[in-house]
Chain A
């Protein structure tokens, strides 16, 4: 079965510091996509970053970057220079590269930013 595990229910970080959120997944597929979504208090789900499994280079979007370890099936999210607006639930998700497959979601990590 395909699963996504986020082992940290809650994380906190001092403003301007760096934090890493963990995500592991289980799959036998070789071609897939990985995503990190952010859900702030407004509850709008926002795509933060995506990674294609066939690409070795780690994706980066401004202060957000991933550490993608395909062999270890690990996909962690690093947030640099944390800002108060980064406070949110963060969800890791996985999808097989086929239009008939759905996203498989992790349970989420609540990120608290300390001023």
Chain B
């Protein structure tokens, strides 16, 4: 089955640590996105990539970094510079036209301990 997989489902981070969230897709899509969702709120765009080896900052990129070395993978690193990283993180992708909306992963819940 084609789809998009995020791991881990739950992640705990100590103060000052960097952590990396995984996002893998086997849909052969070029475009991939990372969103942050805080409780009771909508989605805010962190980073996106339209093609391998290229990515763009979204609305809230500070304290985050990404890479896009392979088409199927778009990992997100939450750095120690992100002061309030506790949130739910969603990865998404869409096909070339995007006319059928995004396909989402099941998300990663990150908690600072």
Contact = CB atoms under 8 A, between A and B. Distances in A.
Interface string B28-45: 000101000100111101
Interface stretch (B18-26, B63-71, B100-108): B100-108
A50 B88 contact: no
A58 to B, nearest CB: 17
Interface residues of B, number: 23
Interface of A: 33, 35, 37, 42-45, 47, 50, 52, 91, 93, 95, 97, 99-103, 105-108, 110
Given A44-B104, A44-B106, A97 B99 contact: yes
A91 B31 CA distance: 21
Residue of B43, B48, B100, B107 contacting most chain A CB atoms (<10 Å)? B43
Contacts of A110: 40
